[in-house]
Amino acid sequence: MARGHFIAFEGGEGAGKSTQARLLAETLRERGLTVKVTREPGGTPGAEAIRNLLLAPPGEGWPPQAEALLFAAARADHVAHLIRPALAQGQWVICDRFVDSSRAYQGGAGGLGDDAINALHAFGSDGMRPDRVILLEGDEAALAERLASRGEAADAIEGRPATYHRAVAAAFRALAEADPQGIVRIDAIGAPRDVHNRVLAAIGDLLP
C-alpha cells in the first residue's frame, strides 16, 4: 500500500488553520481519499491530556524548557499512535500545527533556539517532517480582529503579549525563507474558499 501524505497547517493565532484543515479534508474526501484531521498539541488521548496542561497550566505556568518538553512529549505520542499508523495505511493526515509551531513559539519567541527544539523532535519523533507545510499569514490587525470575533477566552499561549506573537510571526517567516520548498507561505486574509484555493495550488504536485 502506498504511503499517505502528511500536510501541516501553521501560523499565528487567528490565521484560520482549523478552517483550512477542514476545507482541505472535505476536498480530498470528495476525491475518494481517506483523510484523518488532527491537531497539536493533541490528537491522541495522551497528547490531549498534555494539551490541557499546556493551555491551562497549573500554578504560575511552565518555564520555557518545561513547556518545550511537554509539547515534544505530546508530539511523540501523536506521531507514534496516530500519524505514522495512518500514513502507513495510505491515509492523508492533515494536522493543525506540528513541529514548526514549537520552533516558532518555544524556539523563536521563547528564546530556546532552533537547535534545542529540533533535538527534542529528533529524539521524540525521529525528526518526522510533513510532506508540505502550509504557513497561513496575514496582517496583524486583521488576524487579531478575527481572533476577537470568536468571542472565546484566550488560553495561556493566545493570551501572551503582542510582542510575543510578533516574534512568533517573525520566526515563522524565517523558517519559511530557509525552506521554501517544504514551507509554503499563503495569504490567509480573504474568503475561506479563496484561501482554500491557494492551499490547493500549493499542494498540487501531491494530489492524485
Per-residue pLDDT tens digits for 116-164: 999 999 999 999 999 999 999 998 887 878 777 777 788 999 889 999 9
pTM of the full structure: 0.95
Q: Is residue 1 part of a domain?
A: no
Q: What is the mean pLDDT of residues 169-184?
A: 97
Q: CB count, 10 Å around CB of 30?
A: 8
Report how many domains make up the chain: 1
Q: What is the CATH number of the domain that holds 91?
A: 3.40.50.300
* Cβ neighbourhood burial of 180 (10 Å; 0-12, 13-18, 19+): exposed
Give me the domain span that covers residue 58: 6-206
- Could you tell me if residue 158 is inside a domain? yes
| Cα separation, 193 vs 150, whole angstroms | 19
